[in-house]
Amino acid sequence: MDRGPPPSFNTDPVEAGTDVVSTVETEPVYNYKGWIDSKPSGMQCSKHGAYCFLCDNIVLDDGAGAAEGGGEEDEANSIREDVVAINNYITIMVEQDKSAQHIVEGVYNYYNKRVREKIVDYVHPVTGEIVPTPRWTQETIVNHIMFSNNPTWSRMFGSACTMMLRGLVLKANHATIDTESGRIIPDAAESLCKFIERHDKHVKEQLLIAELIEKSRTRRGVGHIGKSSR
């Protein structure tokens, strides 16, 4: 599916005293107005310009949407079961603190082996083109999970942030000592300490969030289920 050319950036230097805000074209960090334009302009599914199986197939929490009978109804129920299965898989894997790569590859393989051939009449929302057996990419899958408001799935984003902070700590550690003199570089040491402090704070916050989610689930009598993905 053609997503158009990648965004371009003007790298020419800005003269001193120039009002950057009035001269540089900007865009939001998160484009929540997904219905306004047709070109890809964001990482989330509504602005990514690519097919997303979970966005295109919604299963309500109360079980609505299930069909009865044969033929098309059986196919609809089969797809509904696939949505529930994928939601459950993501939820359980996140709760087990599996890596984003592990989760995304599992979803990607499930879709391609058990679901893709069932999707025969996907209509592109912008072009109106009918796309048989649309490709659901790993990039779109990880973006769907990362931008989900599902409290449990949000832990995957939190885990990614943990890995980023750990990377900063390790990089800062290797830049702290002057190899020639053996002395500590004060600014680098200060940065290292700040990164460690921020990492520890973030980990504590993630543990607290996980505890609150578990308490909420216990009060509502909810087990390991994959409800709405958005």
Over residues 92-145, the pLDDT tens digits come to 999 888 888 999 999 999 999 999 999 888 888 777 888 899 999 999 999 999
Rounded to an integer, the average pLDDT of 208-221 is 77
> What is the number of other CB atoms lying within 10 angstroms of the CB of residue 179?
6
Q: 183 φ, ψ to 5°?
A: -90, 155
Distance between CA 50 and CA 3 in Å, rounded? 7
User: Band of the pLDDT at 38, cuts 50, 70, 90?
Assistant: low
Distance between CA 164 and CA 158 in Å, rounded? 10
Say what the pLDDT of residue 64 is: 46
- Is a pLDDT exceeding 50 seen at residue 27? yes
User: Band of the pLDDT at 187, cuts 50, 70, 90?
Assistant: very high
